[in-house]
Chains A and B, each alone.
Chain A
Amino acid sequence: MHARKVRIKDFRNYIDEEVCFNKHRNIIVGQNAQGKTNLLEAIEFVSRGKSPRTANDFELIRYGSPAFSIELDFDSVQGEENLFVSVAKNLTKTLKSGACALEKRAKINGASYNSTRKLAGNFVTVSFKSEDLNLLRGGPKYRRDWLDNLTSTLKKAYSQDLSKYNRTTSQKNRLLKDIFEKGFGAGSHEMEDLEQLKTWNQQAALLGARVVKQRLAVLNNLLPLAMEEHSKISGKKEILKAEYYLKRPEDEGDGEDRDLEEIMKAGIEPDEKDIARRLYRLYQKRHKEEIFRKQSLAGPHRDDIRLSLNGEDATAYASQGQQRSLVLALKLAELSLVRDHIMEPPVLLLDDVLAELDLSRQSHLMQACDQDMQTLITTTHVDAFEKKWLLNARFIEIKEGRAMEQEEEPINN
């Protein structure tokens, strides 16, 4: 897959800009806050139908403009393809929340849709950003978001499953709040309220189990590949393991929950029904605590993934260098998983990350995408790169939302 040309209008700090890429390496250079990340964000937006940085598309519209649009021409094994998306402020309508309503349009090879989510899965990208280097050290949300992103690339129904689970959790949280405010134990509708809570618990457990099962399936496919990449990088054979933590409310230490085994080893495929039963029992048993805290305390929105090397927790013990090697291994494994899934190379987006890696880790990364993979690499200065990675690259300079090609290089086949 190769992006040929992207046209960006009123998106972030771009007014109206057209950028062409070559089929291999494209280096996007510029000082800070010029629009390098914004350019990759625009490409990810057409790739996923949403921004990796914000859930509120309003923020993406250039200050003072009524709408943004992005158009992408790309080549895939299917041939020449075209994606278009626009998001416009609807000034005649305000939402209940007081936010401005947005009107969204998407076109896939000319066919129109009124939701941007339709775009996902057409132009496939894998991104590696400098923030991703914190994958192991950061909070659980980093790891969940990373795994969710990868899972939605690999499984088409996953984003819908996840958003259904999230909506169910919002409904349940509202009910918990209503019950709490009525004064739990004193209300006239107590039986009905608990019966309703049971229903939302069942639904959250069923949908939550579907989410967990798909996450685990992806994790299980990823691990052996990551382990192989990791031993290539570190030169050592170390055993990489992942454990999926089913989060539960704070343990009171009464041993009552022993039957709720909290850790699932990646490598075994758990039964979806089994996860659902486990979650449901947990919710029912802890419903008083959930009412008191007015929120759902367990489920995929609170779970975590822990990685270990030779039995040592990667978060706690690995040095910064080791952590970088491990993140790099995970990313390389992700790349080959996605490549196998779509049966052609995806486009690799590297945001500020190359300069953060030492020369040996840089070369592992660059070798993986050397042959037939298109890469878009952003950096503030090229001197951190080894010279050979600059050969045959197309240079695009970004300054205050304008793109300038530094050297003319026609797209050659």
Chain B
Amino acid sequence: MHFTPPLARLIEQFQKLPGIGPKSAQRMAFFILGMKRDEVQAFADAVIDAKDKVKNCSRCYHLSANDPCEICVNDRRDGNIICVVADSKDVIALERTREFKGRYHVLTGLISPLEGKGPEQLSIRELINRIPDEDIHEVILAINPTIEGDATVLYLNNLIKPLGVKVTRIAFGLPVGADLEYADDVTLTRAMEGRREV
């Protein structure tokens, strides 16, 4: 006995989503069938609407319904300093802190040969072009310290340093105010290795 074709197709679609196995896909499909029709319509409209309207900003590659995005058109932001992140989600996280007043550049991923990602697949060339075009003085790399993150930082540093622009990387380690007891051992070891006189 199989699910009737329209239901089977819905389950199949849900299964395409990351982290969703056959069981969860079934649960979601059944949930949809239990919803009111106008709720389902709103759900489907939102999916299409987001797909149609949200694009990478042609300047910074942040996801936005406007091009250029809200951040790129905001004149009150410092246009000479740029913060480079891997992903649009990172822009949102950094914006929440309200610490950074410059502009962003979203790489749309990290260098990873194992996943078929090279510099050509990322917005690296566009970043390099922005530096003289927008008279950038400082580039801040807000990239996670993973293997692929570190390699991407090295790659960018190799390209940007010769342009005579200051390149910095945001610090990682113990979060400020974090309880030492809850920091994991390796983080603590690193913190001890990197300790400085105060």
Query: A residues within 8 Å of B by Cβ?
Result: 92-93, 121, 156-157, 160, 164, 167-168, 170-172, 174-175, 178, 189, 192-193, 195-196, 198-200, 202-203
In the complex, the answer to whether A171 meets B155 with C-beta atoms within 8 Å is no
Q: In the complex, are the beta carbons of B147 and A174 less than 8 A apart? A: no
Binding site for A on B (CB under 8 A): 21-23, 111-114, 118-120, 147-148, 150-151, 154-155, 158-159, 185-186, 189-190, 193
In the assembled complex, the CB of B8 is this many whole angstroms from the nearest CB of chain A, namely 18
Q: Is the CB of B114 within 8 A of A92?
A: no
Complex Cα–Cα for A199 and B21 (A) = 37
Residue of B nearest to A120 (CB): B185
Given contacts A93-B21, A198-B158, A199-B111, contact A171 B120 (CB under 8 A): no
Given contacts A92-B22, A196-B155, contact A189 B148 (CB under 8 A): no
Q: Specify which chain A residues have a CB less than 8 angstroms from the CB of B112 in the assembled complex.
A: 171
User: Dominant SS at the B interface?
Assistant: helix
A/B interface sample: 18 pairs, CB < 8 A: A157-B190, A160-B186, A168-B147, A171-B112, A171-B147, A171-B151, A174-B114, A189-B118, A192-B118, A192-B119, A192-B120, A193-B118, A196-B118, A196-B119, A199-B154, A200-B151, A203-B151, A203-B154
Given contacts A199-B155, A200-B151, A202-B154, 12 further A-B contacts (CB under 8 A): A167-B147, A171-B113, A174-B113, A189-B118, A192-B119, A193-B118, A195-B119, A195-B158, A196-B119, A199-B111, A199-B151, A199-B158
Contacts of B150 in A (CB 8 A): 203
Judge whether B21 and A168 touch: CB under 8 Å: no
List of A residues within 8 angstroms of B120 by Cβ: 189, 192
Report the separation of the CA atoms of residues A178 and B23 in the bound assembly, to the nearest whole angstrom: 37
Partner of B147 from A93, A164, A193 at Cβ < 8 Å:
A164
Shortest C-beta distance, B126 to chain A (Å), equals 14
Residues of A within 8 A of B148 (CB): 171
Cβ contacts under 8 Å, B147 to chain A: 164, 167-168, 171, 203
Contacts of B185 in A (CB 8 A): 121, 156
Q: Which of B114, B118, B147, B186 has the largest number of chain A CB atoms within 10 A?
A: B147
Whether the pair A168, B113 counts as a contact (CB closer than 8 A) is no
Pick the contact of A195: B155, B190, B193 (CB < 8 A): B155
Contacts of A189 in B (CB 8 A): 118, 120
B148 closest partner in A (C-beta):
A171
CA distance A223 to B150 in the complex (A): 35
Across the interface, which residues of A come within 8 angstroms of B186, CB to CB?
156-157, 160
B193 closest partner in A (C-beta): A157
Residues on B with beta carbons closer than 8 Å to the beta carbon of A202: 154, 158
With both beta carbons as reference points, the residue of chain B lying nearest to A166 in the complex is identified as B147
- State whether A175 touches B189 (Cβ < 8 A): no
In angstroms, Cα B147 to Cα A189, docked, is 23
B190 contact set on A, CB distance < 8 A = 157
Closest chain-B Cβ to A242's Cβ sits at a distance in Å of 25
- Assess the A156–B189 pair: CB atoms within 8 A: yes
**Cα-based distance from A139 to B151 in the complex (angstroms):** 32
The 7 closest A-B CB pairs, nearest first, are A174-B113, A175-B113, A199-B155, A157-B189, A92-B21, A199-B154, A167-B147
CB distance from A290 to the nearest CB of B (A): 14
Q: Is A171's CB under 8 angstroms from B189's CB?
A: no
| Residues of chain B with a CB closer than 8 A to A178's CB | 113, 118
Set of chain B residues within 8 Å of A195, measured between Cβ atoms: 119, 155, 158-159
The docked-state distance in angstroms from the alpha carbon of A178 to that of B119 is 14
Q: How many angstroms between the C-alpha atoms of A164 and B147 in the bound complex?
A: 7
A189–B119 alpha-carbon span in the complex (Å): 10
Which of the listed residues A172, A178, A189, A196 has the most CB atoms from chain B within 10 Å of its own CB? A196
- Chain B residues near A174: list those with CB within 8 A: 113-114
CA distance A195 to B22 in the complex (A): 42
B156 — nearest CB in chain A belongs to which residue? A199
Per the bound structure, the CA–CA distance linking A197 and B85 in Å amounts to: 22
C-alpha spacing A175/B148, complex, angstroms: 13
CA distance A202 to B159 in the complex (A): 14
Give B155's nearest chain A residue, CB to CB: A199
Q: What is the bound-complex CA distance between A230 and B159, given in angstroms?
A: 54
Q: Which residues of B contact A160 (CB under 8 A)?
A: 186
Residues of A within 8 A of B155 (CB): 195-196, 199
